[in-house]
Amino acid sequence: MTTEHHDEQPQETFIAPAKVRISAREVEVSLERPGLTRGKIIGWIGLVALVTLVAWVVFVLPDRVKTPVIATAKDPAPAAPARGGERSPFAEAQLDRQRKAAREVLQETLARQEALAGKSIETWAASEYQQAVDLASVGDEAYLQQDFLTAQQRYREAGEAFAQLAAQAEQRVRQAIRDGNAALDAGRGEDAAAAFAIALAIDPGNAAAEQGNKRAAIAGEVAPILSRARAAEAAGQLNAAIEAYRQAAAKDPASDVARQGAQRVGNAVTETEFRRVLGEGNAALQRGDLETARRRLQRAVELRSDSQEARTALAKANGALAERDSKNLLAEAKNLEAQERWHEAEQKYAAVLQLDANQADARTARDAAKTRAELDAAIAALLQQPDRLLQENVYTEALKLQKAADTITDAGPRLSEQRDRLRKTMNEVRSPIKVVIESDDKTSVTVFKVGNFGSFRKHEVALLPGKYTAVGIRKGYRDVRVEFTVQPGRAAPAVVVQCVEPI
């Protein structure tokens, strides 16, 4: 490898690395050359890359980099251009930052301006709106002159002006709606329509303004009805007045005048009716017509639940009725006691306590009637089913009932009869009855829980009332089983026990 030298004057030039293209095939061939190993090739490539990098740093980089000038606290302005009228990178960065800030404020201002679109601002704030637009135009001029700080300030002032107009728009809408409703209440339909038109021009689709606009369209129909209602109310013709107010409310359900008028006249009608029924109730109470008094006074309380006068009178009527009804019920209860109809008497005493729970005598009488009713029912049940006395636990309970009945000294005819019948039935249950058992003198007979009587033709045995089982056994014959019942106070049944079926 040889290197040629030229005696030429050196010049300042950009040195760029030569483009070297080596195909895979060439690399393979070169690797196959004698004396040229893979390690040597990698070494040459690294050397060429290093020389190229050093040349770029020494000759090219100095012309590409501008010396920055840092502003001091005394002079915050950007540094003068490095050369050729160009700004330093630091100054350019500051300017970019100011430009970005101005654009951000501009976007916010545009959004606020957009919020005013469709509010017909030219009809109610044209001058203020134009002033805000002019401020934004001044900001545009400053922006084009790259005075971004001034542009940012003017944009901000314009945005604040747009925001104030938006707030004023909401206030104007609310005021217009109030004016429209006031005009409707006064029966001025045209003025109401004009006010609602302003509200809808600023805020199209406003629900309250649309409703008011619809009401204004029928104001001509509603106003005469309201005038008639007011005249009737002033003349004391309350029924005619409330009817007219209701007609107006039916045509214009949102009319406060119609609704309040109907309520006001309705209250007056209620008060008149209240005074009438209250007087009738007090008069009935004075003459002792308690049922009429209670009905009239109850109606008065329904009309005016806050009237202490009506409540007091009603309580007095109810008290008089309760006292009268209690006396009647107590008399009925005493009469039922005399007839030994204890359950009905208990119910009468319970009704008395419902009228006046503080009547101690009625409570004591009710408890006594309840005890007698339970005793009467228990004895009656045993007498209707005397066979239950054959059960030991039932018989024990009957003994308790008999003892309780015997302790009553003023027993009436019914209880006396019950006691006698119960005692007789209980004695019969405990009295043996002669039972005759017949057989064939060949069958051995046994009565369970009684005894084995062997073979016989006829055998008598005394048995207490109850259920029994007799068994017959005979060699060569099938056993027999006979069940029979001995009932108290009745004749003994015929019992035959014979084995007659050969095996």
Residues of the chain with pLDDT under 50: 1-84
The Cα angle at residue 176 between residues 174 and 180, in degrees rounded to 5:
115
Domain boundaries of the chain, sorted by first residue:
26-62, 218-338, 360-430, 431-503
Please tell me the predicted confidence (pLDDT) of residue 168.
81
Q: CATH for 218-338?
A: 1.25.40
Please tell me the predicted confidence (pLDDT) of residue 241.
92
pTM of the model as a whole: 0.42
Quick one: which of 410, 392, 400 has its CA closest to 375?
400
Residues in the chain, overall count: 503
Please tell me the predicted confidence (pLDDT) of residue 439.
95
**Tens-digit pLDDT profile for residues 325-381:** 888 999 999 999 889 899 999 999 999 998 888 888 889 999 999 999 999 999 999
Please tell me the predicted confidence (pLDDT) of residue 85.
55
- Domain 431-503: state its class: mainly beta
Contact (Cβ atoms closer than 8 angstroms) between residue 361 and residue 326 = no
What is the side-by-side strand order in the sheet with 433-438? Answer: 458-463, 433-438, 495-496
d(CA 444, CA 453): 7
Please tell me the predicted confidence (pLDDT) of residue 366.
92
